[in-house]
Amino acid sequence: MKYSTKLSDALHILVFLSLGTNQRPTSARIAKSVKTHPAYIRQLMAVLKNAGIISNTQGQANATLTREPCEITVFDVYRAVEGNKPLLHWDVDTNPECGVGIYIQLTIADFYQEIQETAEKKMRSITLQAIIEKYYSKLTRLD
Amino acid sequence: MKYSTKLSDALHILVFLSLGTNQRPTSARIAKSVKTHPAYIRQLMAVLKNAGIISNTQGQANATLTREPCEITVFDVYRAVEGNKPLLHWDVDTNPECGVGIYIQLTIADFYQEIQETAEKKMRSITLQAIIEKYYSKLTRLD
DNA sequence: TTGAGATGTTATTATAAAAATTACATGTTG
DNA sequence: CAACATGTAATTTTTATAATAACATCTCAA
Protein backbone atom coordinates (compact mmCIF):
# COMPACT_ATOMS: atom_id res chain seq x y z
CA MET A 1 0.00 0.00 0.00
CA LYS A 2 0.89 3.57 0.12
CA TYR A 3 2.43 4.78 3.33
CA SER A 4 0.13 6.86 5.47
CA THR A 5 1.10 10.51 5.65
CA LYS A 6 -2.03 11.50 7.53
CA LEU A 7 -0.15 12.41 10.68
CA SER A 8 2.35 14.47 8.73
CA ASP A 9 -0.35 16.20 6.73
CA ALA A 10 -2.46 16.90 9.81
CA LEU A 11 0.55 18.42 11.57
CA HIS A 12 1.17 20.45 8.44
CA ILE A 13 -2.34 21.82 8.65
CA LEU A 14 -1.92 22.74 12.30
CA VAL A 15 1.36 24.55 11.69
CA PHE A 16 -0.23 26.34 8.75
CA LEU A 17 -3.05 27.53 11.00
CA SER A 18 -0.59 28.59 13.68
CA LEU A 19 1.44 30.71 11.32
CA GLY A 20 -1.65 32.82 10.71
CA THR A 21 -0.90 34.46 7.43
CA ASN A 22 -2.98 37.40 6.42
CA GLN A 23 -4.92 35.17 4.06
CA ARG A 24 -7.80 33.04 5.26
CA PRO A 25 -6.96 29.35 5.71
CA THR A 26 -9.17 27.84 3.05
CA SER A 27 -8.85 24.17 2.28
CA ALA A 28 -7.70 25.22 -1.19
CA ARG A 29 -4.79 27.27 0.16
CA ILE A 30 -3.72 24.60 2.62
CA ALA A 31 -4.00 21.98 -0.11
CA LYS A 32 -1.64 24.02 -2.24
CA SER A 33 0.94 24.07 0.53
CA VAL A 34 0.61 20.35 1.19
CA LYS A 35 0.36 19.75 -2.55
CA THR A 36 -2.76 17.67 -2.37
CA HIS A 37 -6.49 17.85 -2.98
CA PRO A 38 -8.68 20.30 -1.03
CA ALA A 39 -11.18 17.56 -0.24
CA TYR A 40 -8.45 15.54 1.44
CA ILE A 41 -7.56 18.56 3.57
CA ARG A 42 -11.21 18.98 4.50
CA GLN A 43 -11.37 15.33 5.48
CA LEU A 44 -8.38 15.71 7.76
CA MET A 45 -9.76 18.94 9.19
CA ALA A 46 -13.07 17.23 9.90
CA VAL A 47 -11.19 14.62 11.89
CA LEU A 48 -9.19 17.25 13.75
CA LYS A 49 -12.36 19.14 14.49
CA ASN A 50 -14.05 15.99 15.71
CA ALA A 51 -11.11 15.39 18.03
CA GLY A 52 -11.52 18.89 19.44
CA ILE A 53 -8.15 20.10 18.20
CA ILE A 54 -9.44 22.76 15.85
CA SER A 55 -12.72 24.60 15.49
CA ASN A 56 -14.32 25.58 12.28
CA THR A 57 -17.58 26.79 10.78
CA GLN A 58 -19.13 25.49 7.64
CA GLY A 59 -19.13 27.99 4.86
CA GLN A 60 -16.38 30.07 6.38
CA ALA A 61 -12.64 29.64 6.21
CA ASN A 62 -12.04 30.42 9.85
CA ALA A 63 -10.35 27.34 11.26
CA THR A 64 -8.37 27.93 14.43
CA LEU A 65 -6.74 25.86 17.14
CA THR A 66 -8.95 25.29 20.15
CA ARG A 67 -5.96 25.49 22.51
CA GLU A 68 -2.42 26.74 22.64
CA PRO A 69 0.24 24.98 20.53
CA CYS A 70 2.05 24.01 23.70
CA GLU A 71 -1.02 22.06 24.72
CA ILE A 72 -1.32 20.03 21.53
CA THR A 73 0.92 17.00 21.25
CA VAL A 74 1.91 14.83 18.32
CA PHE A 75 0.12 11.99 20.05
CA ASP A 76 -3.16 13.95 20.12
CA VAL A 77 -2.94 14.28 16.37
CA TYR A 78 -1.82 10.70 15.86
CA ARG A 79 -4.80 9.39 17.82
CA ALA A 80 -7.09 11.73 15.94
CA VAL A 81 -6.06 10.73 12.43
CA GLU A 82 -4.89 7.14 12.86
CA GLY A 83 -7.25 6.03 15.58
CA ASN A 84 -6.00 2.84 17.20
CA LYS A 85 -3.81 1.86 14.27
CA PRO A 86 -0.49 0.72 15.71
CA LEU A 87 2.99 1.34 14.35
CA LEU A 88 3.76 -2.36 14.06
CA HIS A 89 1.40 -5.05 12.91
CA TRP A 90 1.41 -8.62 14.07
CA ASP A 91 0.23 -11.35 11.74
CA VAL A 92 -3.43 -11.86 12.49
CA ASP A 93 -3.80 -14.71 10.08
CA THR A 94 -1.64 -17.56 11.33
CA ASN A 95 -2.54 -21.20 11.59
CA PRO A 96 -4.81 -21.81 14.59
CA GLU A 97 -4.30 -25.56 14.18
CA CYS A 98 -0.65 -25.07 14.90
CA GLY A 99 -0.26 -24.24 18.56
CA VAL A 100 2.93 -22.41 17.77
CA GLY A 101 1.28 -20.14 15.23
CA ILE A 102 -1.29 -18.22 17.17
CA TYR A 103 0.54 -18.14 20.50
CA ILE A 104 3.70 -16.77 18.95
CA GLN A 105 1.74 -13.97 17.39
CA LEU A 106 -0.09 -13.22 20.62
CA THR A 107 3.27 -13.06 22.34
CA ILE A 108 4.63 -10.76 19.67
CA ALA A 109 1.54 -8.60 20.09
CA ASP A 110 2.41 -8.13 23.77
CA PHE A 111 5.87 -6.87 22.94
CA TYR A 112 4.56 -4.67 20.14
CA GLN A 113 2.29 -3.11 22.70
CA GLU A 114 5.32 -2.21 24.81
CA ILE A 115 7.02 -0.65 21.80
CA GLN A 116 3.82 1.21 20.99
CA GLU A 117 3.56 2.64 24.49
CA THR A 118 7.17 3.75 24.38
CA ALA A 119 6.60 5.54 21.09
CA GLU A 120 3.35 7.07 22.29
CA LYS A 121 5.04 8.41 25.39
CA LYS A 122 7.58 10.10 23.14
CA MET A 123 4.81 11.47 20.93
CA ARG A 124 3.14 12.93 23.99
CA SER A 125 6.30 14.81 24.80
CA ILE A 126 6.43 16.61 21.46
CA THR A 127 4.15 19.63 21.23
CA LEU A 128 3.01 21.63 18.27
CA GLN A 129 4.83 24.51 19.93
CA ALA A 130 8.11 22.63 19.63
CA ILE A 131 7.45 21.90 15.99
CA ILE A 132 6.71 25.52 15.23
CA GLU A 133 9.84 26.70 17.01
CA LYS A 134 12.04 24.25 15.17
CA TYR A 135 10.36 25.22 11.93
CA TYR A 136 11.22 28.87 12.49
CA SER A 137 14.79 28.03 13.34
CA LYS A 138 15.06 26.10 10.09
CA LEU A 139 13.79 29.09 8.16
CA THR A 140 16.28 31.54 9.60
CA ARG A 141 19.49 29.53 9.87
CA LEU A 142 19.88 26.56 7.60
CA ASP A 143 20.82 23.71 9.87
CA MET B 1 -1.38 -0.86 0.97
CA LYS B 2 -1.26 -3.91 3.04
CA TYR B 3 0.37 -3.63 6.43
CA SER B 4 3.78 -5.19 6.61
CA THR B 5 3.97 -8.29 8.78
CA LYS B 6 7.52 -9.08 7.80
CA LEU B 7 8.88 -8.41 11.27
CA SER B 8 6.19 -10.56 12.86
CA ASP B 9 6.70 -13.35 10.37
CA ALA B 10 10.48 -13.24 10.70
CA LEU B 11 10.19 -13.44 14.49
CA HIS B 12 7.79 -16.32 14.01
CA ILE B 13 10.42 -18.14 11.97
CA LEU B 14 13.07 -17.56 14.61
CA VAL B 15 10.86 -18.85 17.41
CA PHE B 16 9.97 -21.83 15.28
CA LEU B 17 13.66 -22.61 14.82
CA SER B 18 14.31 -22.14 18.53
CA LEU B 19 11.65 -24.58 19.55
CA GLY B 20 13.50 -27.27 17.68
CA THR B 21 10.84 -29.85 17.07
CA ASN B 22 11.92 -33.30 16.02
CA GLN B 23 10.95 -32.45 12.44
CA ARG B 24 13.29 -30.57 10.14
CA PRO B 25 12.44 -26.90 9.66
CA THR B 26 11.55 -26.92 5.99
CA SER B 27 10.12 -23.78 4.47
CA ALA B 28 6.96 -25.79 3.84
CA ARG B 29 6.50 -26.66 7.50
CA ILE B 30 7.21 -23.13 8.69
CA ALA B 31 4.87 -21.77 6.02
CA LYS B 32 2.13 -23.97 7.38
CA SER B 33 2.59 -22.57 10.86
CA VAL B 34 2.64 -18.98 9.61
CA LYS B 35 -0.12 -19.86 7.16
CA THR B 36 1.60 -18.44 4.15
CA HIS B 37 3.54 -19.51 1.08
CA PRO B 38 6.83 -21.43 1.37
CA ALA B 39 8.51 -19.10 -1.09
CA TYR B 40 7.70 -16.14 1.13
CA ILE B 41 9.29 -17.95 4.07
CA ARG B 42 12.36 -18.67 1.96
CA GLN B 43 12.56 -15.00 1.04
CA LEU B 44 12.46 -13.96 4.67
CA MET B 45 14.97 -16.63 5.61
CA ALA B 46 17.30 -15.43 2.88
CA VAL B 47 17.14 -11.96 4.41
CA LEU B 48 17.76 -13.33 7.90
CA LYS B 49 20.66 -15.36 6.59
CA ASN B 50 22.07 -12.34 4.84
CA ALA B 51 21.86 -10.40 8.09
CA GLY B 52 23.81 -13.15 9.82
CA ILE B 53 20.97 -14.10 12.14
CA ILE B 54 20.50 -17.63 10.87
CA SER B 55 22.61 -20.02 8.87
CA ASN B 56 21.37 -22.40 6.27
CA THR B 57 22.50 -24.61 3.45
CA GLN B 58 20.87 -24.89 0.09
CA GLY B 59 19.22 -28.21 -0.49
CA GLN B 60 19.02 -29.03 3.20
CA ALA B 61 16.46 -28.03 5.75
CA ASN B 62 18.96 -27.30 8.47
CA ALA B 63 18.41 -23.65 9.37
CA THR B 64 19.67 -22.67 12.81
CA LEU B 65 20.30 -19.51 14.75
CA THR B 66 23.89 -18.30 14.51
CA ARG B 67 23.82 -17.06 18.11
CA GLU B 68 21.90 -17.50 21.32
CA PRO B 69 18.31 -16.20 21.53
CA CYS B 70 19.40 -13.81 24.27
CA GLU B 71 21.76 -12.21 21.79
CA ILE B 72 19.18 -11.59 19.09
CA THR B 73 16.99 -8.51 19.51
CA VAL B 74 13.78 -7.44 17.86
CA PHE B 75 15.71 -4.54 16.40
CA ASP B 76 18.18 -6.88 14.70
CA VAL B 77 15.27 -8.54 12.94
CA TYR B 78 13.53 -5.25 12.18
CA ARG B 79 16.65 -3.86 10.53
CA ALA B 80 17.11 -7.11 8.63
CA VAL B 81 13.63 -7.31 7.13
CA GLU B 82 12.56 -3.66 6.93
CA GLY B 83 15.91 -2.08 6.21
CA ASN B 84 15.76 1.65 6.86
CA LYS B 85 12.00 1.86 6.54
CA PRO B 86 10.76 4.05 9.41
CA LEU B 87 7.67 3.59 11.52
CA LEU B 88 6.29 7.01 10.58
CA HIS B 89 6.43 8.61 7.17
CA TRP B 90 6.64 12.30 6.48
CA ASP B 91 5.12 13.73 3.34
CA VAL B 92 7.91 13.81 0.78
CA ASP B 93 5.80 15.45 -1.85
CA THR B 94 4.86 18.91 -0.59
CA ASN B 95 4.98 22.16 -2.47
CA PRO B 96 8.56 23.40 -2.80
CA GLU B 97 7.25 26.77 -4.00
CA CYS B 98 5.59 27.25 -0.66
CA GLY B 99 8.27 27.87 1.94
CA VAL B 100 5.96 26.50 4.58
CA GLY B 101 5.49 23.20 2.78
CA ILE B 102 8.92 21.70 2.61
CA TYR B 103 10.30 23.18 5.82
CA ILE B 104 7.39 21.94 7.87
CA GLN B 105 7.95 18.45 6.57
CA LEU B 106 11.68 18.63 7.22
CA THR B 107 10.89 19.72 10.75
CA ILE B 108 8.44 16.88 11.18
CA ALA B 109 11.10 14.51 9.87
CA ASP B 110 13.41 15.59 12.70
CA PHE B 111 10.83 14.76 15.32
CA TYR B 112 9.93 11.49 13.62
CA GLN B 113 13.60 10.60 13.88
CA GLU B 114 13.43 11.11 17.64
CA ILE B 115 10.37 8.87 17.87
CA GLN B 116 12.12 6.31 15.70
CA GLU B 117 15.18 6.26 17.93
CA THR B 118 13.02 5.85 21.02
CA ALA B 119 11.22 2.89 19.46
CA GLU B 120 14.46 1.36 18.23
CA LYS B 121 15.97 1.60 21.69
CA LYS B 122 12.99 -0.32 23.02
CA MET B 123 13.31 -2.88 20.23
CA ARG B 124 16.94 -3.39 21.16
CA SER B 125 15.87 -4.24 24.68
CA ILE B 126 13.61 -7.09 23.63
CA THR B 127 15.42 -10.34 22.91
CA LEU B 128 14.27 -13.46 21.17
CA GLN B 129 14.87 -15.15 24.50
CA ALA B 130 12.25 -12.95 26.13
CA ILE B 131 9.78 -13.76 23.39
CA ILE B 132 10.34 -17.47 23.74
CA GLU B 133 9.91 -17.31 27.51
CA LYS B 134 6.69 -15.37 27.26
CA TYR B 135 5.49 -17.74 24.59
CA TYR B 136 6.02 -20.72 26.88
CA SER B 137 4.27 -19.00 29.74
CA LYS B 138 1.29 -18.39 27.48
CA LEU B 139 1.17 -22.05 26.56
CA THR B 140 1.15 -23.31 30.13
CA ARG B 141 -1.05 -20.82 31.95
CA LEU B 142 -3.51 -18.86 29.91
CA ASP B 143 -2.86 -15.25 30.82
C1' DT C 1 -32.66 37.06 -2.28
C1' DT C 2 -29.43 35.54 -5.01
C1' DG C 3 -24.84 34.11 -6.23
C1' DA C 4 -20.08 33.32 -5.15
C1' DG C 5 -17.36 30.82 -2.34
C1' DA C 6 -16.67 28.05 1.50
C1' DT C 7 -17.12 23.57 4.34
C1' DG C 8 -19.14 18.69 5.11
C1' DT C 9 -19.58 14.21 3.44
C1' DT C 10 -20.02 10.22 0.68
C1' DA C 11 -18.65 7.46 -3.07
C1' DT C 12 -15.54 6.13 -6.58
C1' DT C 13 -10.99 5.68 -8.75
C1' DA C 14 -6.03 5.47 -8.85
C1' DT C 15 -1.70 4.50 -6.55
C1' DA C 16 1.60 1.85 -4.38
C1' DA C 17 3.54 -1.40 -0.94
C1' DA C 18 3.03 -5.79 0.49
C1' DA C 19 1.96 -10.80 0.33
C1' DA C 20 0.92 -14.56 -2.67
C1' DT C 21 2.18 -17.24 -6.30
C1' DT C 22 4.71 -19.18 -10.17
C1' DA C 23 8.69 -20.90 -12.23
C1' DC C 24 12.89 -22.71 -12.42
C1' DA C 25 17.85 -22.99 -11.32
C1' DT C 26 20.69 -25.12 -7.99
C1' DG C 27 22.11 -28.03 -4.26
C1' DT C 28 21.83 -32.54 -1.25
C1' DT C 29 21.15 -37.16 -0.11
C1' DG C 30 19.89 -41.88 -0.43
C1' DC D 1 19.02 -40.68 -10.96
C1' DA D 2 15.00 -39.32 -8.19
C1' DA D 3 13.03 -37.04 -4.48
C1' DC D 4 13.27 -33.15 -1.97
C1' DA D 5 15.25 -29.10 -0.43
C1' DT D 6 16.79 -24.02 -0.87
C1' DG D 7 17.71 -19.61 -3.79
C1' DT D 8 15.83 -16.15 -6.45
C1' DA D 9 13.57 -13.51 -9.89
C1' DA D 10 9.30 -12.25 -12.05
C1' DT D 11 4.47 -11.76 -12.03
C1' DT D 12 -0.11 -11.37 -9.99
C1' DT D 13 -3.25 -10.31 -6.35
C1' DT D 14 -4.52 -7.87 -2.35
C1' DT D 15 -5.44 -3.81 0.24
C1' DA D 16 -4.64 0.64 2.79
C1' DT D 17 -4.16 5.02 1.24
C1' DA D 18 -4.47 9.39 -1.39
C1' DA D 19 -6.75 11.54 -5.16
C1' DT D 20 -10.76 12.91 -7.13
C1' DA D 21 -15.60 13.80 -8.17
C1' DA D 22 -20.08 15.17 -6.89
C1' DC D 23 -23.17 17.49 -4.37
C1' DA D 24 -25.52 19.09 -0.11
C1' DT D 25 -25.20 22.75 3.08
C1' DC D 26 -23.75 26.98 5.08
C1' DT D 27 -22.17 32.15 5.08
C1' DC D 28 -21.89 36.57 3.54
C1' DA D 29 -22.16 40.49 0.73
C1' DA D 30 -23.97 42.84 -3.32
Taking only the tens place, the pLDDT of each residue in B25-76 is 999 999 999 999 999 999 999 999 999 999 999 999 999 999 999 999 999 9
Q: Measured at the alpha carbon of residue B56, what is the angle toward residues B53 and B59, in degrees to the nearest 5?
A: 160
3-state SS class at A20? coil
A94: nearest CB among B33, B111, B134: B33
Asked if the C-beta of A33 comes within 8 angstroms of chain B's C-beta atoms, the answer is yes
Specify which residue's alpha carbon is closest to the C1' of nucleotide C27.
B59
| Residue A72: exposure state from Cβ atoms within 10 A (0-12, 13-18, ≥19) | buried
The string over A42-67, giving b where at least 16 C-beta atoms fall within 10 Å of a residue's C-beta and e elsewhere, is: bebbebbbeeebbebeeeeeebebee
Asked if the C-beta of A126 comes within 8 angstroms of chain B's C-beta atoms, the answer is yes
Mean pLDDT taken over chain B: 92
Which pLDDT score, from 0 to 100, does residue B100 have?
64
pTM of the model: 0.93
Strand C-proximal residues of A, range 7-36, CB below 7 A, are 24-28
How many angstroms away from the CA of B65 is the closest CA of chain A?
17
